[in-house]
Amino acid sequence: MAVISPRWPGTRSGSIKGVRVWRLPIIPFRPFVMISYVASVFVFTLLRVARFDLVAVHLAYFQADAVVVTARARGRPVWVKVAADGHFGEIARMRRAVPLTPLIGLRWASRVQATSDAIANELKAIGVRDERVARLPNGVDVLRFCPAEPLEARSLRAVANLPQDAVIVLFAGRLAEHKGINDLLRAWALLNLPRTLLLLVGSANTMDKVKLGFETDDILIRPWTPQIDQYYRAADIFVLPSHVEGMSNALLEAMATGLPVIATRVGASESMIDDARNGLLVNTGKPAELATALRRLIADPTLRARLGREARSTILDHFSIGRVVDRLESAYEELM
């Protein structure tokens, strides 16, 4: 097994947990990043793809075209995963940029993974045959992402310098406009509740930026961390106000941790969340509606506990990493 990715400044090829990682050369300046990376992917797969039995492409952008053309020419099956639907999803964005990917990278792929019904419908609309669409969810490590006992949660708050007596509402992900950050900030301003904290954990390294150069008494911003599970276990509520998603890993992780969640009706959220049973659903771009849901959970610890238990149960039944990997391996074996 090998993984290829861009060679950003400060990174290099090597081995990570026994997996060979090839960092391919790029020109790290816009607009040359994607052009140079696709060229590197094309050359790499052209020269080396015969060594592998299957090629899996994450995100259906230009690199999917390069891999599909070279790998299929050498008789190797290609699995392409589409991450998101809608205006910001790969299908819509690539159709606006260059229409090759919907015609080549997706229609010529051996299998295309759809993590939501919305993605599957978009694939059908561009001519991807049903038998080539694999409806597979993302999975989550339910041992790592698990509920914290009260004493452990207090200890994690102390280590992270978080208030012990506040109800902490957590957002984890890219600090970007399409993630609904502006909606969340507007909703938070409508609440003005005592002993509450909005905790934003993530990176602003995205083209779709928002202005977040501030902190207040009830809003705290922390950089992204590989120990995000510690923030989940220290929080009381998780919120995902996105305008676009496929199947959010952050939502899966929060639910696995036993947090009550509030999410917008995008991507796979509606298939994961049964409103008022294992979480709360709100409409996209509606700060007042989001504020109402936040107020409801903040004020009702009994409801938080019930929704959190049901969220954890949903993940154990349908989205644990073991179940998903078994299905993915079976699909790979069928292709090979």
DSSP string, 165-184: SSEEEEEES--BGGGTHHHH
Question: Using one digit for the tens of pLDDT, what is the confidence trace for 78-98?
Answer: 999 998 888 778 888 777 655
- Dist. CA 242–CA 175, nearest whole Å: 11
Largest CA distance in the chain: 63
Given a contact cutoff of 8 angstroms between Cβ atoms, the answer to whether 123 and 129 are in contact is: no
The candidate with the shortest Cα–Cα distance to 252, out of 227, 232, 224, 223, is: 232
* 2-139+322-335 and 150-312 share one fold: yes
- pLDDT top residue among 323 and 62: 323
**Is the pLDDT reported for residue 136 higher than 80?**
yes
254-281, pLDDT tens digit by residue? 999 999 999 999 989 999 999 999 999 9
**Residue 169 confidence (pLDDT) above 70:** yes
Laid out side by side, the sheet with 219-222 consists of 219-222, 196-201, 167-172, 237-240, 261-264, 280-282
Distance CA(33)–CA(316), nearest Å, equals 39
pTM of the predicted model as reported, rounded to 2 decimal places: 0.90
Give yes or no for residue 216 having a pLDDT over 80.
no
Could you name the CATH architecture of 150-312? 3-Layer(aba) Sandwich (3.40)
Q: What share of the chain is helix, strand, coil (3-state, %, to 5)?
A: 45, 20, 40
Predicted pLDDT at 61? 87
Task: Determine what percent of the chain is predicted with pLDDT higher than 90.
Answer: 79
When pLDDT is cut at 50, 70 and 90, the band that residue 190 belongs to is: very high
Contacts of 46 (CB under 8 A, 6+ apart): 70
- The number of CA neighbours under 13 Å toward the Cβ of 283 is 4
User: What element of type H or E holds 265?
Assistant: none
More confident: 294 or 99? 294
Distance CA 202, CA 29 (A): 23
For range 139-167, the mean pLDDT: 97
C-alpha to C-alpha distance for 172 and 202, rounded to whole angstroms: 6
pLDDT, tens digit, 9 for 90 and up, residues 293-309: 999 999 999 999 999 99
Question: Residue 207: its pLDDT value, please?
Answer: 46
* Per-residue pLDDT tens over the stretch 50-82: 999 999 999 888 899 999 999 999 999 999 999
In degrees rounded to 5, what are phi and psi of residue 295? -60, -40
Q: Nearest 5°: CA angle at 119, between 137 and 312?
A: 30
* CATH H superfamily, domain 2-139+322-335: Glycogen Phosphorylase B; (3.40.50.2000)
Q: Over the chain, what is the mean pLDDT?
A: 92
Q: Which long-range contacts (CB under 8 A, 24 or more apart) does 48-56 make?
A: 49/74, 49/76, 50/74, 50/76, 52/2, 52/76, 53/77, 53/336, 54/78, 54/79, 54/332, 54/335, 54/336, 55/79, 56/80, 56/81, 56/332
- Amino acid 107 reads R
Name beta bridge partners: 282.
Answer: 264
Q: What is the pLDDT of residue 90?
A: 85
Helices and strands in the chain, H and E counts: 13, 13
Phi, psi angles (nearest 5°) of residue 251: -65, -45
Cβ atoms of 255 and 314 within 8 Å: the answer is yes
Domain range list for the chain: 2-139+322-335, 150-312
